[in-house]
């Protein structure tokens, strides 16, 4: 069951404010999807996550398959019951893990490339745990990979990915795709895109077999790297398949991301939700929204928090900097989160320097509150027809690292 309603469109841009209805509740869009990789948002309870404005949580297919096993999650009653989160949920397809264990392994490559960083892509003929060599191998049938936990071998096919995701039981799941390096050449991007399209059809066929009760919704994924013709071709092909929504995969240059998203969303059906995978920086949220994105997911807010990097209205700060040791002000004086209302930068600095677990919890509370509130404010600015001014005001103060 999935129903998407557009409440307000932004004149002259693709931005829209909507409501996405699932069997476990409504999501007001645009919305940030909080990542709970292993059926947990690190350092927080589900109740805390909900209190921070989170509307939907995404879990990781690859990790839950390996530990504790998707069959166990199914046995207990599905993801919501397993982790005590009863709001909407999503799972990814496992395709990104194939990328990170494959061409990206040991190379420092991410889904998004920046102009000032030249990534090196290593390819190995056989799977190996040697430095710079792949732990995954892609063929037409799927991806064979080596577990990072115990070294055992496994294979994900489109059918297997869908079966695992149905066992996990999220409200929204993704078709199995191949996520490529942003530095892959045109010929390989084309090859991977075509394979993603064939895998999309197989994912859809398997999903229809398993979804007799129509409780789970399947999103198809658009690929094509940084190449305009491939992105448009992928959007055309995927949009003609009977998906409930669409995901836009990474593998593009950061400087061109918003343009690439715009290419795709001008083609995808307007009446279905669009999810931008793995994006969560404030400036990218604005760019994604004005180019038609409804949902975002990213580990950045929580991962940064655990490393002591905190969002403020003036940009990011590292709480481990010496100047914060005797700073008795909150992280952000205008923030209404639990951390800012009760603790100082000095105290957080102490917790991180002392390596106390509470530091990660308080920092994560702040960063998730900050990002969820930002996206909620972006949504309200669309409704109020003040998006451009809100974007100018916010990004005028928020200094990038």
pLDDT along the chain (401 residues), means of 10: 95 97 97 98 98 98 96 98 98 79 46 43 38 71 90 93 98 94 91 97 98 96 95 98 94 80 97 96 96 97 98 98 98 97 98 98 98 98 98 92 57
Considering only CA atoms, which of 207, 266, 256, 276 is closest in space to residue 235?
Answer: 266
Positions marked active-site: 92, 297
Side-chain-side CA neighbours of 51 within 13 Å: the count stands at 12
Report pLDDT for 187: 96
pLDDT of residue 252: 73
User: Which domains are seen in the chain, by residue range?
Assistant: 3-92+162-298 (3.20.20.105), 308-401 (no CATH)
User: According to the model, what pLDDT value does residue 377 have?
Assistant: 98
pLDDT of residue 104: 41
Q: How far apart are CA 185 and CA 190, in angstroms?
A: 9
Buried b or exposed e, range 270-281, using 16+ CB within 10 angstroms: eebbbbbbbbbb
pLDDT for the residue 100: 67
Give the pLDDT of residue 254.
Answer: 73
Which pLDDT belongs to residue 115?
A: 45
**Of 172, 257, 234, whose CA–CA distance to 207 is shortest?**
172
């Amino acid at each position: 069951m999935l129903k998407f309603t557009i409440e307000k469109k932004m004149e002259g841009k693709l931005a829209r404010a909507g409501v996405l209805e699932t069997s476990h509740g409504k999501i007001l869009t645009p919305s940030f999807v909080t990542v709970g990789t292993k059926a947990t948002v690190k350092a927080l309870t589900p109740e805390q996550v909900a209190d921070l404005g989170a509307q939907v949580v995404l879990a990781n297919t690859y990790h839950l398959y390996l530990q504790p096993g998707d069959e166990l999650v199914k046995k207990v009653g599905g993801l919501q019951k397993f982790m005590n989160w009863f709001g909407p949920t999503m799972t990814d397809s496992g395709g990104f893990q194939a990328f990170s264990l494959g061409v990206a392994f040991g190379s420092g490559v991410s889904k998004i490339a920046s102009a000032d960083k030249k990534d090196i892509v290593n390819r190995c003929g056989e799977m190996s745990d040697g430095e710079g060599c792949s732990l995954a191998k892609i063929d037409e049938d799927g991806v064979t990979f080596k577990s990072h936990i115990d070294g055992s071998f496994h294979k994900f096919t489109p059918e297997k990915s869908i079966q695992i995701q149905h066992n996990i039981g999220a409200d929204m799941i993704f078709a199995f795709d191949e996520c490529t390096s942003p530095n892959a050449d045109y010929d390989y991007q084309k090859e991977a895109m075509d394979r993603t399209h064939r895998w999309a059809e197989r994912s859809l066929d398997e999903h229809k077999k398993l979804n007799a009760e129509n409780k789970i919704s399947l999103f198809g994924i658009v690929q094509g790297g940084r190449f305009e013709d491939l992105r448009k071709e992928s959007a055309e092909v995927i949009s003609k398949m009977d998906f409930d929504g669409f995901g836009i995969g990474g593998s593009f240059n950061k400087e061109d991301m918003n343009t690439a998203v715009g290419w795709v969303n001008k083609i995808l059906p307007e009446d279905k939700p669009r999810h931008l995978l793995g994006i969560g920086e404030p400036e990218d949220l604005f760019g994604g929204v004005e180019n038609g994105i409804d949902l975002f997911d990213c580990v950045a807010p929580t991962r940064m928090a655990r490393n002591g990097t905190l969002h403020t209205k003036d940009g990011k700060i590292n709480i481990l900097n010496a100047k914060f040791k005797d700073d008795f002000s909150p992280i952000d004086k205008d923030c209404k989160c639990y951390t800012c209302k009760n603790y100082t930068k000095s105290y957080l600095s102490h917790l991180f320097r002392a390596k106390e677990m509470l530091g990660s919890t308080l920092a994560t509370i702040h960063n998730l509150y900050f990002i969820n509130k930002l996206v909620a404010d972006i949504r309200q600015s669309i409704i109020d027809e003040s998006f451009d001014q809100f974007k100018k005001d916010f990004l005028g103060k928020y200094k990038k690292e």
